[in-house]
Amino acid sequence: MLAEKIIMLRPSNFGYNPETAITNAFQERPDGTKQQIKSQALTEFDGLVGTLQEAGIHIDIWEEDASDINTYDAVFLNNWFSTHPDNTIFTYPMFSPSRRLERNSKYLENLTNTYQVLTKISLENYEQLGIFLESTGSMVIDHANGIVYGNRSPRTNEILFFKWARLMGFTPILFDALDRNRISIYHTNVLMGLGERFVVINSEAIPYRDWEILKYHFNKTGKEIIEIDHSQMESFAGNVLPLVNKNGKRILAMSTSAFESLTRDQICRIEAHALIVKHDISTIESVGGGSVRCMIAENYL
């Protein structure tokens, strides 16, 4: 089950966040001024929105409040809330204290005033216990088959991961995933993107035993496994999002850097399932440490 509508947040305060860099190895400290970085990020954001709209994707665009000066990562809004086909909204506990400022009641009011919301489940109080689960960054969800995938990391707590699965009635598949330096990958959606009939995943990052379990579930649910390596993951080839446009066509949203890292064979295999839609967001990727999938919150309401 793919989302037909998405939500994106136009950032006013994008910048390098040293607090999140503690657990995000993809972030790079920028050379330009803060204003230059903000301007480049806005240009990239608007370009990506235009590209997705041209592909027939419905987007609700939220505008970030410029007064929230410390919300450097607000463009990655999929990390603090999620929507679900049963008209449920979850809000989540965030690892970085500065990112907790991104949760804003005005955004949730926008959702509840525009769409039908039957249930709201708040998990953010777990921050007081020092345990975290960062929404669809931490979890890659197979709605059609009732499975949720997640890799252990400081941002993905095992207890909370299983609690979420129990609340939603999903089968939880928890595994380990390490980058080339043997450090836990901060978010599951950096190493895998899950479509209806395929999965793009960095198999190099996953221990043999866990990989065998994952392959079992992918095969059981009819997913073609398209493997990528560490280098491609570092270009955000795993941070991709399958969507369906207004005409019912399947697309796969990704960045230009992700696309350029793929081999011709990998591209052909993906294109057998979905049209690739790409845009350059290199500043957002390098400074923020996230890519296209991180910028999109699926709207199932």
Q: What is the pLDDT of residues 219-231, one digit of tens each?
A: 999 999 999 999 9
Tell me which of 266 and 31 has the higher pLDDT: 266
**pTM to 2 decimals?**
0.93
Average pLDDT of the segment spanning 43-56 = 96
Tell me which of 105 and 167 has the higher pLDDT: 167
pLDDT of residue 17: 67
Give 283: exposed, middle or buried? Use CB within 10 Å, 0-12, 13-18, 19+: buried
pLDDT of residue 24: 74
Give the domains, in start order, of the chain with CATH numbers: 5-299 (3.75.10.10)
Spatial CB neighbours of 296, under 8 Å, sequence gap ≥ 6: 6, 7, 8, 78, 241, 253
How far apart are the C-alpha atoms of 115 and 34, rounded to whole Å?
Answer: 36
CA end-to-end distance (rounded Å), the chain: 13
Average pLDDT of the segment spanning 192-213 = 97
Helix (H) / strand (E) element for 36: namely: helix 34-54
Give the HSE-up count for residue 138: Cα atoms under 13 Å, Cβ half-sphere: 30
Mean pLDDT computed over every residue of the chain: 93
pLDDT of residue 236: 96
Average pLDDT of the segment spanning 45-61 = 97
| Confidence check: pLDDT of 257 > 70 | yes
Give 128: exposed, middle or buried? Use CB within 10 Å, 0-12, 13-18, 19+: exposed
- Residues 184 and 178 sit within 8 Å (Cβ to Cβ): yes
Task: Report how far apart, in Å, the C-alpha atoms of 199 and of each of 55, 69, 189, 206, 257 are.
Answer: 21, 37, 11, 15, 19
Q: Which SS3 state, helix, strand or coil, does residue 256 take?
A: helix
122 is written with which tokens?
């708040």
pLDDT of residue 36: 83
How far apart are the C-alpha atoms of 67 and 103, rounded to whole Å?
Answer: 14
Helix (H) / strand (E) element for 91: namely: strand 88-91
Note the Cα 178 to chain centre separation in Å: 18
Give 275: exposed, middle or buried? Use CB within 10 Å, 0-12, 13-18, 19+: middle
Average pLDDT of the segment spanning 116-145 = 96
